[in-house]
Structure 1
Amino acid sequence: MDRPPNILVVLSDEHTAAAAGWAGHPHVRTPHLDRLAAQGVSFDRAYTNSPMCVPSRLSLMAGQYVHQIGAWDNGVIPGPSYRTWGHHLREAGYTSVIAGRTHFNGPDRLLGFDKRLTDDLDFWLDHSGRPPRRTPDWRRPTNSHVTEQGTGAHVHTQHDIATTDAALDFLRAPGDDPFLLYVGYMHPHFPLVAPPEFRALYDAADVELPSVADDQHPVISLLRHGFRNDEPLTEEQIREATVCYWALISHLDHQIGQLLAAVPDDTVVIYTSDHGEMAGHHGIWQKQCFYDPAVRIPLLLRHPALTPDRIDAHVSLIDLLPTLRDIAGLASDPALPGHSLLDPTDRPVLSEYHAQGMLDGGFMLQSGPWKYCYYGAANPPQVFNLDNDPLEQNDLSGDTALVHRLDAELRLLLDPDATDERAKSDQAARMAVSTRG
């Protein structure tokens, strides 16, 4: 058997799909990622399986849906049965290495990988297992996720530079075995404090101010209230927050450019993000919802055997592990619900949210042009036709026949009501344990 190729996977935090040069954004500068996109395959309808950091990352690493592994919220600590890319690729003789942000909670900093070069920032890690409080009166302490903005030094920037340095050191002497190198960056995650030289690339006057509907879905209204997104911002704050977000993406691109320069052309390279960023659309900053800026993510794959292309098939982060197994020469694993991106097929995408800001579980089915959002029997759903309404401003949930059809399709993947009850039960048990502790 031929030696399988080396693999570099780069994961950013909170990079929405549209905010990139290769995606057609008129202002965001991503020259290194643009070059990677030109050399490989861009999956233009890629989605996260949860618009929340830890659930998304645990899902993508396990190749399992959130509900399959109980990754409900940012307090989840993986149990002993949790299996990652590292466990899987060991079968093919790979050495698996982590550099930077993984957002793994708990004392196990490897979770099946062989080596860790640098770790997460301590203040992002939760070792208590405490779940979020999901009550109507819950509110984020401040709206600093948008109002903490401008230029300056920040620990996230320092983390990303140190992560790049550690990854480059490894790439200079990776050893004899084929390797899987995962590099995790903080940027462009808030706070929106950008290095001055990258902020200088942008003019706040170029920002197109997002529109916010007066009459919003009740679940979205509560979510906005919980995360203090209903607190008024000045036009200057919106413009500055947006260009700082762009600047953080450009700094991320600069870091990735250094990695790409250090690997030969026969190295398989994958770039993606854990979820997107609403950046003011629908009056929301951060993510935690199913509008496209929050759930649609960049996904690039460069493989020597693939012809550069743009793919419209719906794919999601659970497809990464089957892809890695395929690249490594391993047989497909029937326990994994995803599908290898080396031979992509258009299939419905499922995304879930079970955390603060929503009293009941949220579920998104993306199928063809249709997006169906289910928030429990007590709440109205949302339905959008993204082909005709890419900004998701025209809710079609009044079409009863359409809702019934999409709801039936969602229930082929899971029982949303039973899943919601299971999530709440698990969170209640974890809350009781953490409170006693």
Structure 2
Amino acid sequence: MNRPNILVILSDEHTGSAAGWAGHPQVRTPNLDRLAAQGVSFDRAYTNSPMCVPSRLSLMTGQYVHRIGAWDNGVIPGPDFRSWGHHLTDYQTVIAGRTHFNGPDRLLGFDRRLTDDLDFWIDYSGRPPRRTPDWQRPTNSHVTEHGAGDHVHTRHDVHATDAALDFLRDPGPEPFLLYVGYMHPHFPLVAPPEFRALYDPADVDLPPTWNEPTSAQHPVISLLRHGFRNDEPITEAQAREATVCYWALISHLDHQIGRLLSAIPDDTVVIYTSDHGELAGHHGIWQKQCFYEAAVHIPLVLRHPALSPARSTFHVSLVDVLPTLRDIAGLPADLALPGHTLLDPVDRPVLSEYHAQGMPNAGYMLKSGPWKYCYYGSAHRPQVFNVESDPLEMHDLSDDPELVGRLDAALRAVLDPDATDQRAKSDQATRHSTAAR
């Protein structure tokens, strides 16, 4: 059969609403806008974990975090890890740039790697995070370190694009699956000056909850903010500058993607998505690690010659990417994968989960229709939002027992949240003991 070439582009921390095609009035993404106009954009795409390594391992295996034990950013994939490269054996599978794979195996089933992660993002210890109520990030530099300037993340992304372009000039006769991973727009919010100059802090409309007091928040969210030092006050000027620097990093990302798109023919299949979002001040939070929309809602665009341009409102998630790649490659559906091909998507509930620092107990999100259900264990009340009528998630509906009961049953149809929490903690304790030897 004639197998099309495939380009998959993965950014880091790009929230789904921060793009021109997504309706943002200020963020400039002309190249991604054109890609979205040529393909199918999924307006209700979600990450399966608002954390880098768990999300990426879920993406690469097509499995939920709890199925593969990808609990936190210290996980090193074991020998039973099966990536896209293990599935698409009739393709030459090539990596350029950011993957956030931990450990000495830098391929994990792929054939070639053109450029690697930055050294300080690779963990060889397997050590899990400390999940105690007194844990705190050393600083709040993820928001206070911002401005125009040069940064190693920018150089990494340009280098990844350069290497991918070198490959695309002479890919060889075999069909290829080329994965290109970018650091941007992940903090620190240090943006190339020419992209920072595109935006004026005076034009920023800060979210109404940007300085929301922790005393008014759900106790799990309040503790999470304390752990990541998002309870340390910042000025309105700092929030505005951090916001425009985030936008500038997205625009630099878009520029790199434009370089890639200009080097491939129109019949190349292209998938663009991100590992998770960025709260950018919503509910006083910068980074992710929870289930508010800006943290879990991600961009997802698929351009395929057989698909007409469209916008889909079906709920989809990162576990759907591997079934899609298999479908594109002409492989039969793998019933061991929980996802579904995006060439013929189905609307179904989305699961996201978090088992890392800032939350001593696990957090889970089930998104179904307009409803978002966030479960934090029996010791805490859940959160429930109608995201359609309350897009900023300011009105918790967890005082409705019938609604909570229905959504909780739907979550438990996917997994046992309390048993999964205990399994994660047991595995993390074992890894901590092993790493300490």
Match of 1:181, SS state, is strand
1:56 is matched with 55
CA distance in 2, matches of 1:329, 1:25: 36
1:139 aligns with 2:136: yes
Secondary structure of 1:126's aligned partner: coil
Instruction: Provide TM-score, normalisation by structure 2.
Output: 0.99
| Paired residue type of 1:22 | W
Deviations 1:163-183 (A, max 9, x none): 000000000000111000000
Does residue 336 (structure 1) correspond to residue 334 (structure 2)? The answer is no
Query: 5+ residue gaps in structure 2?
Result: none
Which residue of structure 2 lines up, in the alignment, with residue 32 of structure 1? 31
Aligned to 1:270: 271
Q: Which residue of 2 aligns with 1:117?
A: 114
Secondary structure of 2:94's aligned partner: strand
Match of 1:375 in 2: 376
Match of 2:9 in 1: 10
Aligned position for 1:47: 46
Deviations 1:344-379 (A, max 9, x none): 110000000000000100000001110000000011
Hey, what does 2:302 align to over in structure 1?
301
For the pair 1:150 / 2:151, whether they are aligned, the reply is no
For 2:177, the aligned partner's letter is L
Q: Identify the residue that residue 290 of structure 1 maps to in structure 2.
A: 291
Query: Which residue number corresponds to residue 86 of structure 1?
Result: 85
Q: Quote how far apart the aligned CAs of 1:288 are.
A: 0.1
Q: Distance in 2 between matches of 1:232 and 1:57?
A: 31
Counterpart-to-counterpart distance in 2, 1:275 and 1:16: 7
3-state SS in 2 of match to 1:315: strand
How far residue 298 of structure 1 moved from its aligned partner, in angstroms, is 0.2
Matches of 1:27 and 1:206, distance apart in 2: 9
Distance in 2 between the 1:232 and 1:383 partners?
27
Rounded to whole Å, the distance in 2 between the matches of 1:269 and 1:422 is 37
Spell out, residue by residue over 1:70-99, the C-alpha distance to the aligned partner (whole angstroms, 9 max, x if none): 000000000000000000000xx1000000
CA contact (8 A) 1:20 1:29 kept: yes
The CA distance in 2 between the partners of 1:29 and 1:146, in whole Å, is 21
1:211 and 1:283 in contact (8 A); partners too: no
Q: Please state how far the C-alpha of 1:272 moved relative to its aligned partner.
A: 0.2
Mapped to 2, the partners of 1:319 and 1:122 lie a distance apart of 30
SS at match of 1:404: helix
- Per-residue deviation at 1:387? 1.1
The CA distance in 2 between the partners of 1:387 and 1:236, in whole Å, is 31
SS of 1:98's partner is: strand
Residue 20 of structure 2: aligned partner: 21
Alignment partner of 1:219: what SS?
helix
User: 1:100 is aligned with what amino acid?
Assistant: G
Where has structure 1 moved over 3 Å in runs of 4 or more? none
After TM superposition, the structure 1 = structure 2 runs for residues 26-425 of structure 1, keeping only pairs within 5 Å, are 26-90=25-89, 93-212=90-209, 213-214=212-213, 215-425=216-426
Structure 1 regions of 5+ residues with no counterpart? none
Q: Deviation at 1:286?
A: 0.2
The amino acid across from 1:184 in the alignment is G
- Cα deviations across residues 11-60 of structure 1 (Å, max 9, x unaligned)? 00000000000001010000000000000000000000000000000000
Q: What's the secondary structure of 1:300's corresponding residue?
A: strand
Provide the secondary structure at the position in 2 that maps to 1:262. coil
Q: CA RMSD in A?
A: 0.5
CA distance in 1, matches of 2:290, 2:373: 12
Quote how far apart the aligned CAs of 1:209 are: 1.6
Q: What is the TM-score with the length of structure 1 in the denominator?
A: 0.99
Question: Secondary structure in 2 aligned to 1:150?
Answer: strand
What displacement does 1:381 show? 0.3
Q: CA deviation at 1:211?
A: 2.4
Q: Distance in 2 between matches of 1:306 and 1:148?
A: 42
Q: How many residues align?
A: 433
| Residues in 2 aligned to 1:156 and 1:209: alpha-carbon distance in whole angstroms | 26
Q: Secondary structure at the match of 2:360?
A: coil
Q: Which amino acid aligns with 2:193?
A: P
Question: 3-state DSSP class of the match of 1:297?
Answer: coil
Secondary structure of the structure 2 residue equivalent to 1:224: helix
Deviation per CA, 1:297-347, whole angstroms, max 9, x where unpaired? 000000000000000000000000000000000000000000000001100
SS in 1 for 2:88: helix
Contact preservation (8 Å) 1:51, 1:351: yes
| 1:210 positional shift | 1.9
SS state at 1:189 partner: coil
The one-letter code of the counterpart of 2:302 is L
Structure 1 CA distance for aligned equivalents of residues 27 and 7 of structure 2 = 24
SS in 2 for 1:29: coil
